[in-house]
């Protein structure tokens, strides 16, 4: 019995999205990987085709679709075996902050562009000396009349080069409580004092433009505060459930794809005796073990998707799912690579890129150690 109840409309959307990926994305991935960035026109094409921010209200140019469309988008993007066109990050992690906490003026100004792909977003939280620890953030934001002055440095910012709009987390230096000091700010590309540093060269995620961002006496109008001053930490906490669930969905889909490649390879390639690798008992056992883990992960993820879509509080469970599925993808990539042998070490093997890309999943969106710490706290440990 299927846990998720997809309608004919959902299936049609998946079919259209898959066709879009086959024609507009997959043929360009190798070039994007080489360039270490996806051209902005690819974002605009995806937006014009109706595949960005599918949940957004028609009032702002969206389609008002349910959460399963976001799930489909994340799964189909994972199947392209690249991470540069980070639609999930933009559509289901960053832009929801504007939709949930933005003023009506902010939503009218920014949401249409986010939906069309004319505005690419980034969220700037991580700092050189503060990763998962928001309380250790050093970036400051000070009121100066009708303006806010932001100073600080951010790093490992996904979409950092392409971003037309960044949601920046910074602290009021006059507030002693680090959690009450935190606010979120909307900073547009081209704002004086907002500059980009290095376009980071990474082990994986090659087509994802990850960068350093710097703010030096960066002045924005006070109207660019997102939500209420001092509520930044609470807003971030409210959105972490969906962020971690989306990461888990992406990791689960990546693991399923890598196992499919491996099974197909073992069925169609032969050993020295002329038998398919899949006829080896050791290989069979390895594949069965990995498929079992895949099935367990899928059942867990689908259940959480239903609960999240119903508005239930599953913060602890999504933290568990985020650590479990990203560890699953990382460990499965390693085991599958062993079964590919020498071919797995070449760039002709899709698993080479998959192996590199899944490694960081256990680090971003809160490290897996942080995820376990959250679960331990709620377990009363």
Residues annotated as catalytic are: 243
E strand segments, the chain? 121-124, 140-144, 147-158, 165-171, 182-188, 194-199, 210-221, 225-226
Q: How many CB atoms lie within 10 A of CB 221?
A: 10
Q: Are 112 and 52 in contact (CB under 8 A)?
A: no
Q: At what angle do helices 350-358 and 315-340 cross, to 10 degrees?
A: 150
Distance CA 171, CA 45 (A): 37
Distance CA 36, CA 161 (A): 10
Beta-bridged to residue 122, according to DSSP, are 166
CA-to-CA dists, residue 341 to 152, 170, 259, angstroms: 46, 48, 15
Distance CA 54, CA 19 (A): 17
Q: How many CB atoms lie within 10 A of CB 202?
A: 15
Q: Are 129 and 199 in contact (CB under 8 A)?
A: no
Distance CA 206, CA 119 (A): 22
């Amino acid at each position: 019995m299927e846990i998720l109840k997809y309608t004919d409309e959902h299936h049609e959307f998946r079919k259209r999205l898959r066709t879009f990926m086959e024609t507009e994305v997959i043929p360009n991935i190798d070039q994007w990987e080489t360039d270490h960035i996806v051209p902005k026109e690819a974002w605009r094409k995806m937006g014009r085709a109706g595949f960005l921010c599918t949940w957004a209200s028609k009032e702002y140019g969206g389609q008002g679709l349910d959460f399963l469309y976001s799930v489909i988008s994340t799964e189909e993007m994972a199947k392209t075996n690249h991470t540069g066109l980070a639609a999930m990050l933009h559509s289901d992690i960053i832009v929801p902050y504007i939709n949930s906490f933005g003023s009506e003026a902010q939503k009218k100004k920014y949401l249409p562009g986010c939906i069309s792909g004319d505005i690419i977003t980034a969220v700037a939280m991580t700092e050189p000396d503060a990763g998962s620890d928001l309380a250790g953030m050093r970036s400051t934001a000070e009121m100066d009349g009708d303006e806010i002055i932001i100073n600080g440095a951010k790093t490992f910012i996904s979409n950092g080069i392409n971003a037309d709009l960044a949601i920046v987390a910074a602290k009021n230096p006059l507030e002693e409580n680090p959690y009450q000091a935190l606010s979120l700010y909307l900073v547009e590309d081209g704002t004086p004092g907002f500059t980009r540093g290095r376009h980071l060269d990474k082990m994986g995620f090659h087509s994802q433009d990850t960068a350093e961002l710097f703010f030096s006496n960066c002045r924005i109008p006070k109207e660019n505060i997102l939500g209420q001053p001092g509520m930044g930490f609470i807003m971030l906490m409210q959105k972490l459930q969906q962020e971690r669930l989306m990461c888990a969905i992406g990791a689960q889909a990546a693991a399923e794809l890598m196992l499919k490649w491996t099974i197909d390879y073992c069925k169609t390639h032969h050993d020295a005796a002329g038998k398919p690798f899949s006829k080896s008992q050791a290989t069979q056992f390895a594949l069965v073990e990995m498929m079992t883990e895949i099935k367990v992960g899928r059942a867990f993820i689908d259940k959480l998707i239903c609960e999240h879509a119903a508005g239930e509080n599953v913060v602890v469970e999504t933290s568990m799912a985020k650590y479990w599925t990203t560890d699953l993808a990382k460990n499965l990539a390693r085991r599958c690579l062993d079964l590919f042998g020498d071919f797995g070490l070449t760039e002709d093997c899709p698993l080479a890129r998959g192996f590199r890309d899944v490694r960081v999943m256990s680090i971003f969106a809160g490290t897996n150690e942080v995820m376990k710490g959250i679960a331990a706290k709620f377990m009363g440990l």
